Structure 1
Amino acid sequence: MLKYSLCIGAYPGEDVITHLEKVKEHGFHGLEYYDWTELDLKEVAKAQRRIGVGIIATCTRSFNLVNPEMRELYLSGLTETIDACKRLGTTSIITQTGNVMIDAPIKMQQDAMIETLKRSAALCEESGMVLEVEPLNGLVDHEGHFLQYSDQAVSIIDQVNSPHVKLLFDVYHQQITEGNVIRNATNYQNRIHHYHMADNPG
């Protein structure tokens, strides 16, 4: 069964508590909040208990998966994010990949990404969380982003081969990048853990 969440910013200018109250009011299942480091975790956890809904997904601290020299920094940030998620009861962690390194072979960058995700999978497995890898479009919003295509993302996820590393399929980004949204979302549904829904354009 699909569960539905609201994203922070749906009510511009309103804080996380108001968004959680709106989630409850609309009968949704949770809130997606981008940057957990902005939060007072103790106060948010208290509010979640009072309201009866919580943050269901947040982003990890670092987004560079393609540079092996950044691996330990990435894993350290992921460990911090996992600890924060434990305090909030959050089970999904979103990551992007960082930009292409123009002076390094693509295969080297992809291999580095797979190795970092394998090590990330082990951390997530220990905590019962899922790391969601999100392709972003390079045409409008994220020029140079390494991971843009859903088939490329699925190939990488399959090589990681862990139920704790899945695909975040963003309809907006994938419509810009490749189209065929319904076909791809259907073909890859067993790798997809999370959908983002937004209009393109607009």
Structure 2
Amino acid sequence: MRQFSACIEWLFARDGDVFADRIRLAHEAGLNAVEFWHWTDKDLDAIAAAVAETGIAVSGMVAEPMIALTNPANKEAWLRGLRDSVAVAQRLGARVLIAQAGDDLPGYSRVEQRAAIAAALRAGADILAGSGIRLGLEPLNTTIDHVGYYLSSTAEGLDIVDEVGRPEIGIVYDLYHSAVMGEDTREVIGNRIDRVVHLHVADHPGRSDPGSGRIDLAERLDWLYTQGYRGRIGLEYKPGTSDAAAVRAVVKSLGG
């Protein structure tokens, strides 16, 4: 049975709501995991209480601070933040932290920026070692949502992971971003499924509900599972409607 994780930055969100209540709504909708982005701007006590009350899992969050790993000057600040992020993830039971490469910086060659990313991740692996937490570097599309971002290629992201060479480090493979960049899942993942620590899904156009657009998400997920992926599928999309029935229908359509 495939396991799904509701990104409660968008799903179950209501204007003026209490963020932790989205965990309760996800649980009521039948989800057994949630994820979110930043943790420094959230009431962690309230989140921990909602997790304990519902028994729902926190699958992942962002490794803060979200600063450009492409800039070698940011390495030490990012590593200090990673230590704090690991502590929060352990408190909430999260097994995945998400890192972004940062923008393609003027004044640095791509070779220099790639080396800076790899160096930060390699040092980060030492912090993660023995924690049970893996860090996923996330490629993003640069045509719609993240113009100027350094890492738009899934294959390059996997190459960086291989260069780092540590089991604590992998990628977050976002099927939406990959499809927007015109990638074929089979080609870019190949035989490296073990480097994928988490999946994200949304449809295109609109980054909305799976099934609302043109991406063959079910087919791509089927292939990823035949290759051995067994992590959670993050429902990171802007919902047309956030009611429980609509989310359950999405989960069913994706093999849940």
The alignment's TM-score, normalised by the length of structure 1, stands at 0.93
Number of aligned residue pairs: 202
Aligned to 1:75: 79
Higher relative contact order (CA 8 A, sep 6+): 2
SS of equivalent residue, structure 1 residue 6: strand
1:41–1:87 CA contact under 8 A, matched in 2 = no
Identity of aligned residues (%): 28
Once the two structures are TM-superposed, the CA of residue 185 in structure 1 deviates from its matched residue by 4.5
1:122-165 Cα distance to aligned partner (Å, 9 max, x none): 11113221101100111111111111101100100011111111
Aligned to 2:221: none
SS of equivalent residue, structure 1 residue 152: helix
Aligned to 2:30: 27
1:117 to 106, 114, 121: 121
Question: Residues of 2 paired with 1:167 and 1:156: CA distance?
Answer: 9
Once the two structures are TM-superposed, the CA of residue 182 in structure 1 deviates from its matched residue by 4.7
Structure 2: stretches of 5+ with no match in the other structure: 207-256
2:155–2:189 CA contact under 8 A, matched in 1 = no
1:60-86 Cα distance to aligned partner (Å, 9 max, x none): 112311111110111111111111112
Pair 1:136-2:140 in alignment: yes
2:130 to 126, 129, 134: 126
Aligned to 1:149: 153
Letter in 1 for 2:6: L
Q: Bigger CA drift: 7-16 or 94-103?
A: 7-16
Pair 1:56-2:76 in alignment: no
Question: Residues of 2 paired with 1:63 and 1:198: CA distance?
Answer: 25
CA RMSD of aligned residues (A): 1.7
Aligned to 1:16: 19
Q: 1:112 to 1:92 in 2, by over 3 A?
A: same
Once the two structures are TM-superposed, the CA of residue 99 in structure 1 deviates from its matched residue by 0.5
Question: Residues of 2 paired with 1:109 and 1:183: CA distance?
Answer: 25
The alignment's TM-score, normalised by the length of structure 2, stands at 0.74
Question: Residues of 2 paired with 1:20 and 1:186: CA distance?
Answer: 35
4+ runs deviating over 6 angstroms? none
SS of equivalent residue, structure 1 residue 37: coil
Once the two structures are TM-superposed, the CA of residue 183 in structure 1 deviates from its matched residue by 4.2
Question: Residues of 2 paired with 1:126 and 1:47: CA distance?
Answer: 27
Aligned to 2:175: 171
- Greater helix share, structure number: 1
Q: 1:188 to 1:16 in 2, by over 3 A?
A: farther
SS of equivalent residue, structure 2 residue 40: helix
Question: Residues of 1 paired with 2:166 and 2:77: CA distance?
Answer: 22
Aligned to 2:42: 39
